[in-house]
Amino acid sequence: MKRYVVMMSVLMALLFFTGNVVFAGAEKDPLKPRVPKDHRGMAKKTKSPIYKKASKASAEIIAEGKKIFEGKGTCFNCHGKSGKGDGPAGKVLNPGPRDFTNCKFHKKRKDGELFWVIKNGSPGTGMVPLIPSAISEEEAWKVIAYERSFCEKYKK
């Protein structure tokens, strides 16, 4: 009986830890809003000065966004060059970085909400505020256009 209890505890511990290994780096539900409620209305209304909608930005702006994403913005470190959230630093984060190839995510979020998170971070996660420390506001709008383009529908 005692041996059974010991074996069960070992099994439970194993399940618990392998579970954690499997889930480390997994995204927290990407369809739930990240901007806190008291800022969300304003954030949703925030518009880019360089285009009407990030998903409709010109190929030139998207190309500039790619340079920032893979360069000074350091976004690729976590979000991955693929945009899937599989960058080297992203793999160890919990919750994991956003997978920008997920079109459902893009559909749920206004451009202004993405901008808010780049400026203020997503509290309690590895997504820290990156304006103005890494990039300017204008650069953020360009990088948002690039992030949208990971969704096949918005590719140019």
| Contacts to ligand HEC by CB under 6 A | 28, 30, 34, 73-75, 77-79, 89-90, 93, 95, 97-98, 109, 113-114, 117-118, 122, 125-127, 130, 134-135, 143, 147
Min separation Cβ 1 and ligand HEC, Å: 45
Min separation Cβ 15 and ligand HEC, Å: 25
Min separation Cβ 4 and ligand HEC, Å: 41
Min separation Cβ 117 and ligand HEC, Å: 4
Q: Which residue's CB is nearer to ligand HEC, number 19 or number 88? A: 88
Asked if 36 contacts 117 with a C-beta cutoff of 8 angstroms, the reply is no
Cα–Cα distance measured from residue 46 to residue 40, given in angstroms and rounded to the nearest whole number: 10
Q: CA torsion 132→136→38→43, rounded to 10°? A: -170
Tokens 């690039």 belong to residue: 146
3 state SS of 43 = helix
Q: Which residue's CB is nearer to ligand HEC, number 55 or number 74? A: 74
Q: What one-letter code names the amino acid at 147?
A: E
Asked if 151 contacts 103 with a C-beta cutoff of 8 angstroms, the reply is yes
